[in-house]
Structure 1
Amino acid sequence: MSRNSGSPGRATVWPLLRRGRLLLQALSLAATAFTAAEARDLRAIGVLVGDLGNPFFVELGKGVEAAARELAGPDVGVTVRSSGYDLDRQTAQIDEFVKDGIDILILNAVDTTKIEPAVLRARATGMVVVATDVKAAGASATVTSDNRQAGKLACRYMAERLGGKGEVLILNGPPVSSVIERVAGCRSELTASVGITLLPDDEDCGGSLDGGLACMTAMMVKHPHIDGVFTINDPTATGANIAADRAGRKEFFIASVDGSPVAVDLLREPGTRFAATVAQNPRGMAELAVQMGIALFKGEKPAETLIEMPVTLMTADKAKDYTGWGR
């Protein structure tokens, strides 16, 4: 997937980061850079993400690196690793970070509940664990998008475009809070229309392009007619779009979540079946997670430990002014 950048998207996405910063102020967390003396005890930040094959997580990792340098100084070490959506692998990585003396872990859990024992072991050693993008049981704090709202926005648009009737397929994903909440938000909008039939959505398509391609290929064999497809992220949507192209299926459109540059490119294509994506801000999310992690590392206690960043619906008519993720 492409990683285009540029200024046109700032008007849409930078307000998300500004509003997130206001949330931190409400939590009494300092957003100013720390002096070298204040940060001297912070030596290393670790980042674990589900899959570095997903550009969203690449951006998240870069965002942590940039925020760490800005807020804690140039000497803080940042290590970014992919867990490949493998729980055993991520558990081992957390244990390795403990041995390596990581002070703050920015964690994108591959399983929201099953990662808890590893998280609690890490916290028992004094490590601060900030769950990022998805919730992680036992974490010190959490920074995510408003994922339920993301699903609602995408599928409200879908229901309106369908005129409240049709057959809709949801391409699901890994058992993490962001996916569960997006699907729940989507279903709440679609089931409000009595004329919409939801096709089975219990298969984990992996949250990847390859997974979206495989799942969509199989679903098109099972369902000779589909009116709309909701995917849990843009890589899945991209794979589904490729599958539809290969099969010559043109009767349905796709709505997704991420707001990635490649999704916006697809929105711009004439006659595209890619109709909408709900924009997140991985760089802004990373910055907030690092701010909160440093504050907790310094012993500050926030009034709340969950920040849900706002999201915005991106459609073809808005794509000309947006390049993805507000950089």
Structure 2
Amino acid sequence: MVLSRLTLGIAVVAGLASPALSKDLTSVGISVGSLGNPFFVATIKGIEDKAKGVNPNVKVTAVSSDYDLNKQFTQVDNFIASGVNVLMINAVDPVAIEPSVKRAQAAGMVVAAFDVAAAGADVTVMTDNIKAGEIACQYIVDHLKGKGDVLIVNGPQVSSVVDRVKGCKAVFEKNPGIKVLSDNQDAKGSRDGGFSVTQSLLTRFPKVDAIFAINDPTAIGANLAAKQLNRSEFIITSVDGAPDIEAELKSGNSLIKASASQDPYLMAGQSLEYAAGILNGKKPEKSVFLLEPKLITSENIGEYKGWTAAR
């Protein structure tokens, strides 16, 4: 349903937009949080495929900010200097990035955000991350029948992560039998970070009933930490619906039991499509588009079709 609404939205915008001077899409600059995360690899592929659909000769350059705001500032300045048409940004900080966004726009670039918000961007397409956190943590509440000790393995404080944790906590707060033992440890959104942070938390807390990890790499790291410590008394849920998590959910012997799925390929591709329209004077009917997450579990994984990008 989300796909059809978004597709229809693009068609309506194209039909209603006032005439404007056409600008060729010749170059796209992309700054993502981490090239080591399969999620961001899929976003880059989505942007590249949509861009080449507009202009087969378009130049697409992708760089990793590694969640370093100053590094992202420099990347944007480099894209401005190279004269790209469209800046696709996965902002390290949704508010602090605004001066860079404004500089890019002043240089004639269209700025499109994806996955996380970016103040001042021309358009943003992202998952409804509050809902993603809600459904992942409601699974925990249901599994525990409203009572238990839980960990939230946090991550970089980008808007998507903040919103997931916000949604998760809102669910837990409605259930007074749920006790959050820890919620402020940053596992960097990575497998290695998930492993080290979870290992430390499990050593600290002898009784844990569930873990909410802010993304799939973190969840996989948490699962590995549990195995190393011979801990198996809890379940893990997360967000992404990545290919690696499909294997975990199908295995039958993983502590990971659910993930709120996203579609990074579609998300970033839609953002580029809107940006290309804006480049040609076709302003979308709104500036922020939210995609609906769906909870995939060890019970319904057989019905899950996975991310849109070919794997």
Report the TM-score when normalising by structure 2. 0.94
Give the residue type in structure 2 aligned to 1:59.
A
**2:14 corresponds to:** 30
User: How far does residue 220 in structure 1 lie from its aligned partner after superposition?
Assistant: 0.7
**2:137 corresponds to:** 155
**2:262 corresponds to:** 280
- Is the 8 Å Cα contact of residues 145 and 311 (structure 1) preserved in structure 2? yes
User: How far does residue 116 in structure 1 lie from its aligned partner after superposition?
Assistant: 1.5
Unmatched tracts of structure 1, length 5 or more: 1-14, 32-37
**2:79 corresponds to:** 97
2:44 equivalent among 47, 53, 61? 61
What is the DSSP-based 3-state SS (H/G/I as helix, E as strand, rest coil) of the residue aligned with 1:105? strand
- Is the 8 Å Cα contact of residues 130 and 164 (structure 2) preserved in structure 1? yes
What is the DSSP-based 3-state SS (H/G/I as helix, E as strand, rest coil) of the residue aligned with 1:271? coil
Of 316-325 and 163-172, deviating more is 316-325
User: How far does residue 141 in structure 1 lie from its aligned partner after superposition?
Assistant: 1.3
Tell whether 2:296 aligns with 1:314: yes
Q: Distance in 2 between matches of 1:98 and 1:67?
A: 21
**1:173 corresponds to:** 155
Unmatched tracts of structure 2, length 5 or more: 16-20
2:219 equivalent among 237, 241, 261? 237
Of 125-134 and 109-118, deviating more is 109-118
After superposing on structure 2, the runs of 4+ consecutive aligned residues of structure 1 that deviate more than 4 Å are none
**2:194 corresponds to:** 212
The 5 A counterparts of 1:76-87 are 76-87=58-69
What is the DSSP-based 3-state SS (H/G/I as helix, E as strand, rest coil) of the residue aligned with 1:308? strand
User: How far does residue 39 in structure 1 lie from its aligned partner after superposition?
Assistant: 6.5
**2:247 corresponds to:** 265
Q: Distance in 1 between matches of 2:102 and 2:124?
A: 15
Give the residue type in structure 1 aligned to 2:215.
N
**1:131 corresponds to:** 113
**1:17 corresponds to:** 3
**1:52 corresponds to:** 35
What is the DSSP-based 3-state SS (H/G/I as helix, E as strand, rest coil) of the residue aligned with 2:260? strand
User: How far does residue 114 in structure 1 lie from its aligned partner after superposition?
Assistant: 1.6
Of 16-25 and 302-311, deviating more is 16-25
Q: Distance in 1 between matches of 2:22 and 2:295?
A: 38
**1:297 corresponds to:** 279
- Is the 8 Å Cα contact of residues 60 and 286 (structure 1) preserved in structure 2? yes
Percent pairwise identity:
43
1:121 equivalent among 77, 87, 103? 103
User: How far does residue 29 in structure 1 lie from its aligned partner after superposition?
Assistant: 2.7
Deviation sequence 1:258-307 (CA, Å, 0-9, x none) = 00011010011123211100110011112210111011111222231000
**1:12 corresponds to:** none
Q: Distance in 1 between matches of 2:208 and 2:24?
A: 57
CA 1:288–1:163 in structure 2 vs 1: closer, same or farther (change >3 Å)? Answer: same
User: How far does residue 47 in structure 1 lie from its aligned partner after superposition?
Assistant: 1.0
Q: Distance in 1 between matches of 2:256 and 2:250?
A: 9
User: Which has the higher relative contact order, 1 or 2, with Cα contacts under 8 A spaced 6 or more apart?
Assistant: 1
Report how many residues are paired.
304
- Is the 8 Å Cα contact of residues 46 and 268 (structure 2) preserved in structure 1? yes
What is the DSSP-based 3-state SS (H/G/I as helix, E as strand, rest coil) of the residue aligned with 1:153? helix
Q: Distance in 2 between matches of 1:114 and 1:131?
A: 14
1:203 equivalent among 175, 178, 185? 185
CA 1:303–1:16 in structure 2 vs 1: closer, same or farther (change >3 Å)? Answer: closer
Of 38-47 and 157-166, deviating more is 38-47
User: How far does residue 119 in structure 1 lie from its aligned partner after superposition?
Assistant: 1.3
- Is the 8 Å Cα contact of residues 94 and 117 (structure 2) preserved in structure 1? yes
Q: Distance in 2 between matches of 1:39 and 1:260?
A: 37
